[in-house]
């Protein structure tokens, strides 16, 4: 497929990239290219300038840093899936990363690109929400951190300003918690028809900490706060009933594969299964 005409730049430093991005009204950042390039080939996206950030050094890493794990924005899904540091200290991300797309997608797609794209059925948004991650973004004027819970604002829409670039994602250590990612894959696209990321901590048989990120169900990924509130301080036996609130106040998506009824039902079932798994099978 043949895209429309565009200019292409591949800066070697972040500040060059930020300059380029600010220089043109219709510039787009090219990271792994797994969302943008298909759209360009179909001429659904026709950016005038592509700023390829793939040749900027130092944007791909996973590092332990106190209570957090820091992940460079250009770290690929495959690198996250196989990161020993994450597997040890914050395994929810790798558990989701190995379920993204297929091997080719995982080898090229990046966490920063996926979060910036904010596809309503992408996997990472549910995970960063459940982890209360911080998304670090840079612009010509400096750096800021956006909490994951404030980041996703709608379908393909985020808190990110047009001239900002995601540089890092910070996720907390979860060694003391149960985690699980449950996903119903769309059989064609591999996107999450429903994806549920949970983090849970029990204290003397009661749910102490619980965080649930849901993707694929609404316009954008969200925290199932109604379920969380219904569970805090409750025994795991409360899970089944609480998950009925999984799509409370959410306008549930509907398409040829799954109607909103079915999606909502699936979200409840997968949330229950994820929570039960995170609780170590102690629910029932």
Partner 1 sequence: MARNGKPRRAPRSNGKTNGHAKAAHWVGRKLKRKEDPRLIQGITHYTDDLKLPRMLYCTLVRSPYAHAEIRGIRTDAARAVSGVAGVFTAEDTASLGMVPCAIQMPDLKVPKHPVLATDRVRYVGEPVAAVVADDLYAARDAAELVEVDYEPLPVVTDMQKALSNDTPYVHDEFRSNKAFTHTLKNGDIAAAFKKADRVVKQRMLNQRLAPIAMETRAVLAEYLPGEHRLTVWSSTQIPHLLRTQVSVMLGLPETAVRVIAPEVGGGFGSKLNVYAEEGLIPWLAMKLGRPVKWSETRRENFTATIHGRDTINDVELALKKDGTVLGLRVRILADLGAYHQLLTPLIPQLTALMLAGCYKFPAIDIEIQGVFTNKMSTDAYRGAGRPEATYIVERIMDIAAHELGMDSAQFRLKNFPQPKEFPFTTITGLTYDSAKYQESLKRALQLAGYDTLRRRQKNGWKQGKYYGVGVSTYVEICAIGPSAATPAGGWESGTVRVEPTGKVTVLTGASPHGQGQETTFAQLIADELGIDPEDVSVVHGDTMAVPYGIGTFGSRATAVGGTAAYLATQKLKAKMATLAAHLLGSTPGDITIGRGHLTAKRNKKSISFGELVMAAYTARNIPPGFEPGMEATHFFEPSNFTFPFGAHIASVEVDAETGEVKVDKYVAVDDCGNVINPLLVDGQIQGGIAQGIGQAMWEELIYNEEGQLVTGSLMEYALPKAHFLPEFTLDRTVTPSPVNPMGVKGVGEAGTIASTPCMVNAVCDALSPLGIRHIEMPLKPERVWRAIIQVQAAPKEPEPAIVPALAAAAARKPAQKTARRRV
CA distance 129 to 215: 10
Instruction: Point out which span in 52-60, 67-75, 90-98, 258-266 binds partner 1 (CB under 8 A).
Output: 258-266
Please, are residues 130 and 215 in contact by the beta-carbon 8 Å criterion?
no
Q: Output b/e per residue, 196-216; b: 16+ Cβ within 10 A.
A: bbbbbbbeeeebebbbbbbbb
Quick one: 141 or 259, whose CB is closer to partner 1?
Answer: 259
Select the residue interacting with partner 1 from 138, 179, 266, 283 (CB under 8 A): 266
| Dihedral angle computed from the Cα positions of residues 140, 145, 146 and 148, in that order, rounded to the nearest 10 degrees | 130
By CB under 8 A, residue 2 contacts partner 1 = yes
By CB under 8 A, residue 187 contacts partner 1 = yes
Provide the minimum distance between the beta carbon of 196 and partner 1 in the complex, in angstroms, as a whole number. 13
Select the residue interacting with partner 1 from 104, 150, 259, 281 (CB under 8 A): 259
Taken in order 280, 215, 161, 83, is the CA torsion positive or negative?
positive
Provide the minimum distance between the beta carbon of 37 and partner 1 in the complex, in angstroms, as a whole number. 14
Provide the minimum distance between the beta carbon of 41 and partner 1 in the complex, in angstroms, as a whole number. 9
The footprint of partner 1 on residues 225-254 (CB under 8 A) is: 240, 244
Of the candidates 70, 24, 23, 41, which has an alpha carbon nearest to the alpha carbon of residue 170?
A: 70
Select the residue interacting with partner 1 from 11, 14, 262, 277 (CB under 8 A): 262
Instruction: Give the distance between the most distant pair of CA atoms in the chain.
Output: 62
Provide the minimum distance between the beta carbon of 129 and partner 1 in the complex, in angstroms, as a whole number. 23
Taken in order 30, 33, 35, 39, is the CA torsion positive or negative?
positive
By CB under 8 A, residue 189 contacts partner 1 = yes
Select the residue interacting with partner 1 from 268, 275, 278, 279 (CB under 8 A): 268
Select the residue interacting with partner 1 from 65, 203, 249, 256 (CB under 8 A): 256
End-to-end CA gap in the chain:
52
Select the residue interacting with partner 1 from 183, 184, 199, 245 (CB under 8 A): 184
Q: Taking the CB of residue 12, how many other CB atoms lie within 10 A of it?
A: 9
The footprint of partner 1 on residues 9-68 (CB under 8 A) is: 42-43
């Amino acid at each position: 497929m043949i895209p429309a005409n565009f200019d292409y730049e591949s800066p070697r430093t972040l500040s060059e990239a930020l300059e380029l991005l600010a220089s043109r009204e219709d510039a787009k950042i090219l990271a792994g290219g797994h969302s943008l390039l298909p759209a360009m080939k179909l001429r659904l996206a026709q950016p005038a300038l592509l700023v390829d950030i793939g040749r900027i050094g130092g944007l791909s890493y996973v590092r332990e840093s106190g209570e957090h794990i820091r992940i460079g924005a250009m770290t690929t899904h495959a690198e996250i899936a196989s990161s020993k540091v994450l597997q040890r200290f914050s395994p929810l991300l790798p558990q989701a990363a190995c379920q993204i797309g297929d091997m080719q997608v995982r080898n090229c797609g990046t966490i920063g690109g996926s979060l910036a794209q904010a596809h309503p059925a992408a996997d990472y948004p549910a995970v960063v929400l459940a982890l209360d991650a911080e998304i670090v973004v840079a612009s010509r004027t400096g750096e800021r951190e956006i909490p994951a819970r404030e980041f996703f604002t709608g379908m393909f829409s985020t808190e990110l300003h047009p001239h900002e670039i995601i540089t890092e994602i910070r996720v907390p250590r979860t060694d003391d918690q149960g985690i699980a990612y449950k996903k119903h894959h769309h059989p064609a696209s591999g996107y999450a028809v429903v994806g549920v990321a949970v983090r849970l901590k029990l204290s003397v048989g009661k749910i102490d900490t619980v965080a649930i990120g849901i993707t694929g169900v609404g316009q954008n990924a969200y925290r199932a706060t109604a379920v969380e509130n219904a569970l805090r301080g409750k025994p795991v036996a409360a899970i089944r009933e609480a998950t009925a609130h999984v799509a409370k106040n959410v306008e549930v998506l509907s398409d040829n594969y799954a109607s909103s009824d079915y999606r909502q039902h699936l979200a409840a079932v997968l949330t229950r299964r994820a929570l039960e798994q995170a609780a170590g099978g102690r629910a029932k």
